[in-house]
Structure 1
Amino acid sequence: MKRGDRGDVNIEVVIGVSALIVLLGLALVGMRVITAESAVDEAARSAARAASIARDGHAAASVAEARAQAVIAQQGLNCAQLNITVDARDFAKPLGETGYVIATVSCEITFGDLMIPGTRLTASEFRSPIDRYGARR
């Protein structure tokens, strides 16, 4: 064994640990994105369902927005920017006609707490049918 080869182990350890840290960071970012997408999907789904049982379009929009915010908070998702839009114009259709409420939720997630710069926008849309023969105003 040559004496000149002994210092190479330190360099290999530094390179190996650095690569391991980068892989761990990428795994954390991936998990954050998957969790955020799931939470936003659930918020849109829950908002549309809550809005579809409202009595009118105005009430539907406010109920849907409150429900989406509650789901996002319940999931522990911190959005840099949260947008909730509700299309409840089908409440104007006459009884007997099929109508839908469409809820769209978008959330801009950040990775600052992971010490990784950047953001990612995740969005979801869900459509829920309005009761054809329920009371509408």
Structure 2
Amino acid sequence: MIALLEDPERGGSPSVEAAILAVVFGLLIAFAIAGGRLVAAEAAADHAARAAARAASLQRDPAAATAFARTTADASLAEQGLRCAQLDVDLDTSQFSAPPGTPASVTASVRCAVDWAELGLPASGGPVIESVAASPLDRWRERT
């Protein structure tokens, strides 16, 4: 068996082959970890969008809803350990003007630009994660 590994016709040293395989396996593990962190980041963005929509639906006017949704999304992402290079929270508050008794909702869209370094890869740039959630407004509550 040892003679096979040291066969000059094979053209390689077992230690070099082992080093190359170790690097390849290391990269595969790093990409698997980064993939798992990306899934966790997407879940954090989903949670932040739901929290922002819910927080906005509890407010009485669109301006307060927008401010509170942004604060809530930022706090939710921080609580989950996700730092965004750029965070955009857009809120659709057009249904705040619906008359009482009419079903209405508020929709929050959270976009988070995540840096690859945040996900465990030594690279710049990264994916933009987007999540949208809606929360109903109280049907019989007075609206502005």
Per the normalisation by structure 1, the TM-score is: 0.91
Q: What is the rounded CA distance, in whole Å, between the counterparts of 1:117 and 1:58 in structure 2?
A: 35
Q: Structure 1 residues 136, 4: closer, same or farther in 2, change over 3 A?
A: closer
Can you give the 5+ residue segments of structure 1 that lack an aligned partner in the other structure? none
Contact 2:89 2:111 in 1 (8 A): yes
Spell out, residue by residue over 1:75-100, the C-alpha distance to the aligned partner (whole angstroms, 9 max, x if none). Answer: 11111111101111211111111111
- Root-mean-square deviation (CA, aligned residues, Å) is 1.8
Q: What letter is aligned with 1:131? A: D
The structure with the greater share of residues assigned to strand is 1
- Aligned residue number for residue 114 of structure 2: 109
Q: What letter is aligned with 1:26? A: F
Stretches (4+) displaced over 4 A = none
Per the normalisation by structure 2, the TM-score is: 0.87
Higher mean C-alpha deviation, range 6-15 or range 49-58: 6-15
Q: What letter is aligned with 2:82? A: L
- Out of 73, 83, 91, the residue aligned to residue 86 of structure 1 is 91
Identical columns (%): 38
1:53 and 2:55 correspond:
no
- Number of corresponding residues: 137
Can you give the 5+ residue segments of structure 2 that lack an aligned partner in the other structure? none
